[in-house]
């Protein structure tokens, strides 16, 4: 018996991986949080799974009871999470319980909300000379935060920020970021990326609070902050630079230099010329 922690992506059924779909096809028991994972994800397994259960209203003990029941019946379980289960998926405590019960498990990654939102915005989050670091975090609420991970400490780096679970405190987030990024720093807030009702708003730290409140975003939103969202002033990367060698593309000297070497090595070529 095995439990598969499956990343369903941000909501778009087409963003689930082939590996995830294949795992669900062979598991008779599927448990998912309906508040974060759309039922449409299971269109291809509705007729093959014995049960597909929405666990949104269940606590951890109740979910584990279902997994233990499946263990007794020797049935594999697909535990389906939104986005990537290893990022804010709350799988750590589930894994701890599984290990105490000697139940095997496997994590199948999924497309994160950060990746999907960047794609929707048509942006690269790591531009050469602008930002090479992305910090994924959440705003402090009920979850305790060490001082070194509070938003001002992270903002001091100037890196691109992807802030989860903070849209209801957008005004506090702005207050803490302005001293580090400035009022003109670009911001994007993406609501339910990948769902049929997805929506987004872009602006700056100066005006984003009003724009978010006008949209009435109160949950399931990702906040992206950083210069990469609003600049064309960046260097080309070295990846495709003809003057930069790498193992798959050894540096080639310009044709003029190669010709000069050839004629020097073969004086007869000079006479022909």
Neighbours of 88 (CB within 10 A): 18
Same domain for 60 and 42? yes
Same domain for 104 and 161? no
Same domain for 39 and 136? no
- Residue 94 domain flag: yes
CA nearest neighbour of 1 among 52, 71, 66: 71
CA nearest neighbour of 7 among 98, 117, 96, 86: 86
Same domain for 143 and 123? yes
- Residue 56 domain flag: yes
Predicted local distance difference test score (pLDDT) of residue 268: 45
| Alpha-carbon distances, residue 149 vs 83, 127, 156, 189, 257 (angstroms) | 22, 24, 11, 21, 53
Starting at the edge strand found earlier in the chain, the sheet holding 199-204 runs 134-138, 160-164, 221-225, 186-191, 199-204
Q: Evaluate if residue 271 carries a pLDDT over 50.
A: no
Name the 3-class secondary structure at 164.
strand
- Residue 61 domain flag: yes
Strands 186-191 and 199-204: antiparallel
For residues 173 and 165, is the Cβ–Cβ distance under 8 A? Answer: no
Of 66, 82, 111, which one is at a domain's C-terminal end? 111
The domain tally of the chain equals: 2
Please, which pLDDT band fits residue 207 given cuts at 50, 70 and 90? Answer: very high
Percentage of the chain lying above the pLDDT 90 cut = 74
- Residue 205 domain flag: yes
How long is the chain? 273
CA distance 128 to 124: 10
Of 59, 94, 111, which one is at a domain's C-terminal end? 111
Predicted local distance difference test score (pLDDT) of residue 239: 67
- Domain CATH for 106: 3.40.1010.10
- Domain CATH for 181: 3.30.950.10
Query: H or E segment at 228?
Result: none
Same domain for 104 and 118? no
Same domain for 118 and 221? yes
Same domain for 25 and 102? yes
CA nearest neighbour of 48 among 69, 78, 19: 78
Q: For the segment 90-110, what is each residue's pLDDT rounded down to a tens digit?
A: 999 999 999 999 999 999 999
CA nearest neighbour of 27 among 73, 90, 63, 85: 73
Instruction: Look at the pTM and tell me if it is higher than 0.85.
Output: no
At a CB cut-off of 8 Å and minimum separation 6, what does 27 contact? 4, 49, 75, 76, 77, 78
Predicted local distance difference test score (pLDDT) of residue 254: 58
Please, which pLDDT band fits residue 270 given cuts at 50, 70 and 90? Answer: very low
- Residue 254 domain flag: no
The Cβ-side half-sphere exposure at 114, using a 13 Å CA radius, reads 19
Q: Evaluate if residue 57 carries a pLDDT over 80.
A: yes
Q: Evaluate if residue 265 carries a pLDDT over 60.
A: no
Predicted local distance difference test score (pLDDT) of residue 68: 96
Q: For the segment 112-156, what is each residue's pLDDT rounded down to a tens digit?
A: 999 999 999 999 998 888 888 999 999 887 777 778 889 999 999
Predicted local distance difference test score (pLDDT) of residue 225: 97
Longest pairwise C-alpha distance within the chain: 90
Residue-averaged pLDDT of the chain:
88
CA nearest neighbour of 223 among 156, 177, 158: 177
Of 56, 76, 111, which one is at a domain's C-terminal end? 111
Question: Where in the sequence is the domain holding 70, given as residue range(s)?
Answer: 2-111
CA distance 114 to 206: 22
């Amino acid at each position: 018996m095995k439990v598969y922690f499956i990343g369903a992506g941000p909501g778009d059924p087409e963003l689930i991986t082939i590996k995830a779909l294949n795992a669900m096809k062979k598991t008779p028991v599927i448990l998912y949080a309906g508040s974060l994972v759309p039922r449409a994800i299971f269109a291809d397994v509705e007729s093959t799974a014995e049960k597909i259960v929405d666990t949104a209203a269940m606590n951890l003990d109740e979910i584990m009871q279902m997994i233990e029941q499946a263990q007794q019946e020797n049935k594999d379980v697909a535990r389906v999470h939104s986005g990537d289960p290893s990022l804010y998926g709350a799988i750590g405590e589930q894994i701890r319980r599984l290990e105490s019960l000697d139940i095997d498990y496997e994590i199948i990654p999924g497309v994160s909300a950060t990746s999907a939102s960047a794609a929707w915005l048509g942006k690269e989050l790591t531009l050469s000379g602008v930002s090479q670091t992305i910090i994924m975090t959440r705003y402090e609420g009920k979850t305790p935060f060490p001082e070194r991970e509070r938003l001002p400490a992270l903002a001091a780096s100037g890196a691109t920020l992807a802030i989860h679970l903070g849209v209801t405190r957008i005004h506090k987030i702005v207050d803490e970021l302005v001293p580090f990024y400035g009022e003109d720093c670009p911001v994007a807030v993406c609501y339910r990326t990948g769902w049929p009702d997805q929506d987004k708003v872009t602006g700056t730290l100066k005006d984003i609070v009003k724009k978010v409140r006008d949209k009435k975003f109160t949950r399931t939103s990702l906040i992206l902050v950083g210069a990469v969202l609003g600049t064309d002033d960046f260097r080309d990367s070295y990846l495709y630079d003809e003057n930069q060698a790498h193992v798959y593309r050894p540096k080639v000297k310009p044709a003029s230099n190669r010709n000069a070497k050839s004629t020097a090595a073969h004086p007869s070529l000079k006479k022909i010329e």
